[in-house]
C-alpha cells in the first residue's frame, strides 16, 4: 500500500487526471528536485523514516548536483552504503527520473522522498525551498509574481500584481530527517510545506501551501488557489 500511494503521488504530479490530479498540476510538473543529503530508510515496507546504520553513521546518498530550472541535467551521487560506495555519475530526466546505475535508479516522489525502481531504497530529504532564488510566477497570469527576500523558515517578500505591490510574510514547516538520523525521536513532520503565507491587505489573505517539486508551489485559502512556477529571473521588493 505504501508504494502504491507513492507512485500515485508521482502520477498526480505528471499526468492529467492521475490520482485526482488536475490540469494545473500537469503544468507545474515536478521541477528541480535534486541536490543534497538524502537519508536511506532502514525498512521501506514500514511507514516513515527509520535510520539505517552504515558503520556507525546514518546511511546516506548525497546528490551532488541539482537544478531549479532544467528538467534534464547531469547528476552525481556519493554514498556510504553497500549499494552505493563512493561517487558515481549519472543523470536526471524530466526532473523526476534518476539514473545513477551504481548508486540509485528510481524517481523523486516529492521534494522530500525518492524511491528506487526495485523498491529497496527509500530516501528522505530535508528539503530547503530557497524561495529567494528566482521569481515565482502565477501559471494562470504571468503578470502576477512573488518575490522572497531570504531562505529562512520565517521569511518576508512581496506580491506583484501588474504595477501594484503588497508585502507578505511566509512561514515554512520543515522536516526533521537529519535529527532522526542523529538519534532524535521521530517527529510528526514528514513533508516540507508552507505553514502560512500572509499577504498584506484589508483584510489580509492567509494561504497554506505545498511544493510541487522544488520549483512549483500551490497556495490555497477558502475559495482561492494560486499556483506558482519558479522562473529564472531577478526580482526585488525594494
Instruction: State pLDDT tens for residues 49-76.
Output: 999 999 999 999 999 998 898 889 999 9
Q: Read off the C-alpha cell for 172.
A: 515554512
Alpha-carbon distance 129 to 106, whole Å? 22
* Burial class, 56, CB count within 10 angstroms (exposed 0-12 / middle 13-18 / buried 19+): exposed
What's the farthest any 2 CA atoms get from each other in the chain? Answer: 58
| Length of the chain counted residue by residue | 238
Alpha-carbon distance 226 to 204, whole Å? 15
* Burial class, 2, CB count within 10 angstroms (exposed 0-12 / middle 13-18 / buried 19+): middle
Which distant-in-sequence residues (6+ apart) come within 8 Å of 158 by Cβ? 146, 147, 165, 166, 167, 168, 237
> Which pLDDT score, from 0 to 100, does residue 187 have?
66
Alpha-carbon distance 11 to 109, whole Å? 9
> Which pLDDT score, from 0 to 100, does residue 235 have?
85
Confidence tier at 28 by pLDDT (50, 70, 90): low
Asked if residues 84 and 77 have their Cβ atoms less than 8 Å apart, the reply is yes
Q: Are strands 36-40 and 122-125 parallel, antiparallel or unpaired?
A: antiparallel
β-pair partners for 99: 91, 105
State pTM to two decimals.
Answer: 0.84
> Which pLDDT score, from 0 to 100, does residue 64 have?
96
> Which pLDDT score, from 0 to 100, does residue 27 have?
52
Cis check for the bond before 168: say yes or no (omega within 30 of 0): no
Q: Is the pLDDT of residue 47 over 70?
A: yes
Q: Is the pLDDT of residue 237 over 90?
A: no
Share the mean pLDDT of the chain: 85
pLDDT in tens, 171-220: 999 999 999 999 877 666 789 999 999 999 889 999 999 999 999 999 99
Amino acid at each position: 500500500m505504501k508504494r502504491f500511494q507513492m507512485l500515485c503521488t508521482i502520477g498526480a504530479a505528471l499526468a492529467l487526471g492521475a490520482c485526482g490530479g488536475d490540469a494545473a498540476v500537469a503544468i507545474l510538473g515536478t521541477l528541480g528536485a535534486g541536490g543534497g543529503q538524502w537519508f536511506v530508510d532502514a525498512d521501506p515496507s514500514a511507514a516513515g523514516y527509520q535510520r539505517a546504520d552504515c558503520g556507525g553513521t546514518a546511511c546516506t546518498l548525497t546528490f551532488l548536483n541539482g537544478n531549479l530550472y532544467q528538467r534534464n541535467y547531469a547528476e552525481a551521487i556519493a554514498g556510504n552504503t553497500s549499494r552505493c560506495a563512493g561517487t558515481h555519475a549519472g543523470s536526471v530526466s524530466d526532473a523526476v527520473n534518476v539514473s545513477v546505475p551504481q548508486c540509485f535508479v528510481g524517481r523523486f516522489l516529492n521534494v522530500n522522498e525518492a524511491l528506487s525502481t526495485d523498491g529497496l531504497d527509500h530516501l528522505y530529504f530535508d528539503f530547503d525551498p530557497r524561495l529567494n532564488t528566482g521569481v515565482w510566477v502565477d501559471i494562470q497570469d504571468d503578470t502576477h509574481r512573488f518575490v522572497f527576500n531570504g531562505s529562512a523558515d520565517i521569511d518576508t517578500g512581496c506580491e506583484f500584481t501588474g504595477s501594484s505591490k503588497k508585502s507578505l510574510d511566509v512561514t515554512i514547516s520543515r522536516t526533521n530527517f537529519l535529527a532522526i538520523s542523529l538519534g532524535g525521536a521521530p517527529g510528526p513532520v514528514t513533508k516540507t510545506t508552507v505553514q502560512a503565507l500572509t499577504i498584506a491587505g484589508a483584510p489580509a489573505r492567509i494561504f497554506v501551501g505545498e511544493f510541487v517539486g522544488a520549483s512549483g508551489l500551490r497556495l490555497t485559502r477558502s475559495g482561492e488557489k494560486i499556483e506558482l512556477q519558479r522562473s529564472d529571473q531577478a526580482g526585488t521588493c525594494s
